[in-house]
Structure 1
Amino acid sequence: MKKRIGLLYGGKSAEHEVSLATALAVTKALNFSDYEVYPIYITEEGEWQRGARLEGPADDIAQLQHGDGTGEPNDISAFLPADSGEALDVVIPLLHGPNGEDGTVQGLLEVLNIPYVGNGVLASAAGMDKVIMKQLFSVAGLNQTPYVYFIRSEWQADQDGWLDRVERELAWPVFVKPANLGSSVGISKAEDRTELAAAVREALKFDRKVIVEQGVAGREIEIAVLGNDEPETSVAGEIKPMGGFYDYDAKYKDGDTALIVPAELDEEIYSRLAEDAKRAFKILDCSGLVRADFFVTAENEVMINEVNTMPGFTPYSMFPLMWQESGLAYPDLIERLISLALERHREKQQLQSRRG
């Protein structure tokens, strides 16, 4: 009997377009002889629209943007029984950024008791907020770059004071980021106080909380993690931006970045990366998948930068590429993630909801 898959994508987020590209790629990799696939599209305005069952891979992104027109803001009917009259067996959330990758949709799926691929509420929320994430990394004893953070009201009340603090505690250059966003949206590099102030203003367009990180002169190395209680790691990959740094355009528009998979690393360095990636996975209570991003300096110091709980997931994104090089092809990776989601859901069903 075919499993009924809900493919959830789009979203009220600056990463809406990235999500659409991911959903298109997933439809091309799913085995439609094993699955009934139901598209659930969230518009940029936040309206939920479930389309008719897909009979095969989507032809283009435009096809995925046409729901049945019945969606209303925050309408959960998209998750109710499918065209066949049966409930969805599992949902694959392919949402990036706030209102999707941050635990909000995961919480809705938990309340509805629907299995879903990827990280749960806690891991998603903590992984989305770069400040909370780094604070947990500190608890786990993970090495990371120095940082300063503040919220909009604190910045507005004392801009000079915060500029002074960054200059006092960090070394130039610094990177300024919205605390709760991914895909390098709103990130700027600052070489001096004037550029820092402009970078903060840019980041505050996307979030009320801003994090300023000290730049690191080192290689940008990533490693993929897969699993639930016993996570496994892939080969490592290296990001080599041809321009200034790995911003949104370098990731998704310019193609001006070299992705080297596998990265050339000493076995000792790889082992440290793999171990730290698993420690990060566990301290955030992750499940399903994570991409862990590191810096490796010329002195072989390993510093964790962040983890992404819903990494880019087209066949040309680093997470699938690293698993491809590890022997797990893109369609098989999706199958594995679905199995992990169902495994985690079965475990949760063993919990008691009543005393006695």
Structure 2
Amino acid sequence: MLDNIYVLCGGISAEHEISLMSAMNIINNLDKSKYNIYPVYIDKKGAWVEHDKIEKRIEKPEELISKTEMKPAESIGKFLYGNYRVDENNLFIPSIHGTYGEDGIIQGFLEVLDVPYVGSGVLASAACMDKVFTNQILEQSGMAQAKYMGIIQQDYLVKSDEIIQKIEAKIDYPMFVKPANAGSSVGVTKADNKEELLKSIDTAFRFDKKILVEEAIIGRELEVSVIGNDFPVASLPGEHVVDGHEFFDYESKYFDRTTVIKAPTEVTPEQEDEVRRTAVKAYELMGCKGIARVDIFMRDSDKKMLVNEINTFPGMTGTSLAPLLWKPTDDTDFSSLLEKLIAFALEEYKEKKKTQRSVD
């Protein structure tokens, strides 16, 4: 029997505010008659602050913010030895996007606590967070992708001219430049020429020491929600139609009211089958568990499906496609989806406990 659910939110990433929006939506849709729900706010310096048990609906994400003067280590110690109900049946939902939450760090901490949690484990989280590494794994597995190059900041500082030449030889303009480890399109810019490429590289290096340069695909970006552990299933594809933005950036994702959400979107039956199969294959190759959103380009010229990226804890806001797509797929609403994710987390935890850890 599951007693307590701890919802981690905030964090030190550039997606701090989006995490609060996701956490609010999750908390409001969890069954409060079934679970004791405790939000745990992580501030922008990494300090943890636990809220009291949630009894009523949260009206705005700012309600989850709590101030503390404690340092991260001190605050985590206070949580573990003062508030965490160690002798009860607990589960964590790490509703933290980007660095510190979606990159394996929190997952590793929860593994040390020996507690079930929603979403992928350490390796899959870290691998999917790093866009260059994701591309390399999928490329080795024969999955179609946009042309790309990964760049390490230390190398770029030493031989920038050589690297720029290699980029221009491999990838035609326009191209996109992204931090390797960031989400919600933070730090992503488009370059139409060499001057813009240089500026875009500088921008991306502000957010990470490794960046990704990839060709611009003329086509549609389809989003598929995949759930499950050993036998994952894919939702119908969805799509954000952006008006007034060159690409689906941070502003258009969360704050532009002109962005049209299509859940599901219009594709042929053959395209629907292909994009769903592609999403499940990518999910399995990366070792994802629980839930992930797989973003796939469908190129206009030949309708070819190209895997873009995988988000191992996708947005759970009211406008996020990962939860919205399940209602038209199999009539699963958000509360029911959370129940499925909790069941997957408990299932995965039980499977891990079967693994022999000692030779005794």
Question: Deviation of residue 86 (structure 1)?
Answer: 4.0
Offset, 1:131: 0.7
Q: State the partner residue of 2:10.
A: 10
SS in 1 for 2:276: helix
Contact 1:227 / 1:288 at 8 angstroms: preserved in 2? yes
1:332 aligns with 2:333: no
| Structure 2 residue aligned with 1:277 | 279
The CA deviation at 1:57 is 2.5
CA distance in 2, matches of 1:253, 1:103: 28
Distance 1:309 1:79, change over 3 A: farther
CA, structure 1 residues 330+76, in 2 after alignment: closer, same or farther (shift >3 Å)?
Answer: farther
Query: 1:312-351, aligned counterparts within 5 Å?
Result: 312-326=315-329, 327-351=331-355
Cα 1:60–1:86, aligned 2, differ >3 Å: closer, same or farther? farther
Matches within 5 A, 1:95-244: 95-242=96-243, 243-244=245-246
Q: 1:257 aligns with which of 255, 259, 268?
A: 259
C-alpha spacing 1:240/1:79, structure 2 compared with 1 (3 Å): farther
Displacement, 1:126?
A: 0.3
Distance 1:79 1:312 in 2: 27
Quote the Cα distance in structure 1 between the aligned partners of 2:314 and 2:195. 33
- 1:131-169 C-alpha deviation (Å, 9 max, x unpaired): 111111112211000101111111111222222111111
Instruction: Specify the code of the residue in structure 2 equivalent to 1:45.
Output: K
* One-letter amino acid of the counterpart of residue 73, structure 1: P
Q: Are the equivalent residues in 2 in contact too, given 1:40–1:51 (CA < 8 A)?
A: yes
The one-letter code sitting in structure 1 at the alignment partner of 2:327 is Q
State the distance in 2 between where 1:267 and 1:338 align.
Answer: 31
Report the equivalent of 1:310.
313
Residue 193 of structure 1, CA deviation: 0.2
Q: CA deviation at 1:246?
A: 0.4
Distance 1:2 1:281 in 2: 27
User: Helix, strand or coil: the match of 2:202?
Assistant: helix
Say if 2:291 is the partner of 1:292.
Answer: no
Of the three residues 246, 249, 253, the one matched with 2:248 is 246
Mapped partners of 2:198, 2:103: distance in 1: 27
Counterpart of 1:24 in structure 2 is 24
Q: What CA distance in whole angstroms lies between the structure 2 residues aligned with 1:87 and 1:80?
A: 14
Q: What is the Cα deviation at residue 79 of structure 1?
A: 4.7
1:237 & 1:79 partners in 2: Cα distance?
40
- Structure 2 Cα separation of the partners of residues 184 and 30 of structure 1: 28
Count of matched residue pairs:
355
The TM-score normalised by the length of structure 1 is 0.95
Determine if contact 1:148/1:212 at 8 Å carries over to the other structure.
yes
Give yes or no for contact 1:237–1:262 (8 Å, CA) kept in 2: yes
* Amino acid of the structure 2 residue aligned with 1:190: A
In the alignment, residue 314 of structure 2 is paired with which amino acid? P
- Asked if the contact 1:6/1:88 (under 8 Å) is kept, the reply is no
Contact 1:19 1:96 survives alignment (8 Å): yes
Task: Give, as a single letter, the amino acid of the residue that structure 2 aligns with 1:253.
Answer: F
Q: Does the 8 Å contact 2:254/2:319 carry over to 1?
A: no
CA RMSD after TM alignment:
1.7
Kindly indicate whether residue 61 of structure 2 is the aligned counterpart of residue 57 of structure 1. Answer: no
Distance 1:49 1:248, change over 3 A: same
SS in 2 for 1:328: coil
Does the CA-based 8 Å contact 2:3-2:88 persist in structure 1?
no
d(CA) in 2 for partners of 1:197 and 1:88? 52
What is the TM-score with the length of structure 2 in the denominator? 0.94
The Cα of 1:266 is off from its aligned counterpart by 1.5
Between the aligned residues of both structures, percent identity stands at 37
- 2:344 maps to a residue whose letter is L
* 1:47 CA drift (Å): 0.7
Q: Deviations over 1:41-84 (max 9, x none)?
A: 100011111122222222322321127x4854042543567576
CA spacing shift, 1:85–1:342, aligned 2, 3 Å = closer
Look up the SS of the partner of 1:346 in the other structure. helix
